[in-house]
Amino acid sequence: MTQISRFIGEVVPVAQRVTADYALVSLHCLRIYLDSSYRMTIDLLKKMPQITGEIGLNAADIPTPSTLCKAFDRISMSVCRVLLRQSTQLHDLSEHAAIDATFYDRSPASRHYCQRISYRVQKLKVTKLIDTASQAVLDEHCSTNREGSDADLAEQIARRNAGDLRSLAADKGYDKQSLREGLRDLGIRPLAKHRIFAPYDHAHNARIDDTRTISARWVKP
């Protein structure tokens, strides 16, 4: 069994539990796995009848690259979120997580394409909740708005996953007392280092387990 076949064997059952359009979702997962363009993915798929069959398609059902691209635009965030949650069940999770945000530039999209669809977003802010043991993405939040507190967003994400978490690590950018209190109310131990404003902040940091904390950019992009 090839690596692609093993990957599809994991993806298709998950997609089937999430949406009736599981074949198109599986194709998008394959495209991302191969790190390939829409056209190249379809060209490769035409040469892999076994993989096509495992997805539940025959040669006549293989979509065109443009059809696949448009199908991706129609996938709702709710489906993506459920798909993400289902995929985490493939991992042995530790109940210990870390949270961090990173920005993605829209520069990979062509200037012509951005002008044609009036796409004006320059950067996308993505906040990810990551299992510290398996590195599986547990949850994420995407925004084009830089306004608002990272700490408030972290509490929102933690609340969605409260039943699955025992601790939450974050860098000093998430140092906010209301977040710490909110996490404790949810039964989650906060593991964000304190910013140093007074000598007692050193004492607070000394009581935090260094093996579970993050300093900066610990969460993989």
Give the pLDDT confidence of 61-119 residue by residue, as tens digits: 999 999 998 888 888 888 888 888 888 888 899 999 999 988 877 555 555 556 665 65
Q: Could you give the CA distance from residue 110 to residue 124 in angstroms, rounded to a whole number?
A: 16
- Strand, coil or helix: what is 190? strand
At residue 121, the pLDDT reads: 57
Q: What is the residue extent of each domain of the chain? A: 3-76, 96-212
Give the pLDDT confidence of 147-161 residue by residue, as tens digits: 668 899 999 999 999
Topology of the domain covering 96-212: Nucleotidyltransferase; domain 5 (3.30.420)
Per the prediction, the chain carries an average pLDDT of 83
At residue 89, the pLDDT reads: 83
* DSSP class of 118: T
At residue 221, the pLDDT reads: 42
- Strand, coil or helix: what is 56? coil
| pLDDT > 90: percent of the chain | 49
At residue 218, the pLDDT reads: 43
Candidate ranges 145-149, 191-195, 213-217; pick with highest mean pLDDT? 191-195
Task: State both tokens at 29.
Answer: 């997962």
At residue 116, the pLDDT reads: 63
Q: Which helix (H) or strand (E) holds 141?
A: strand 137-143
Q: Say what the pTM is.
A: 0.72
Task: State both tokens at 160.
Answer: 């969605």
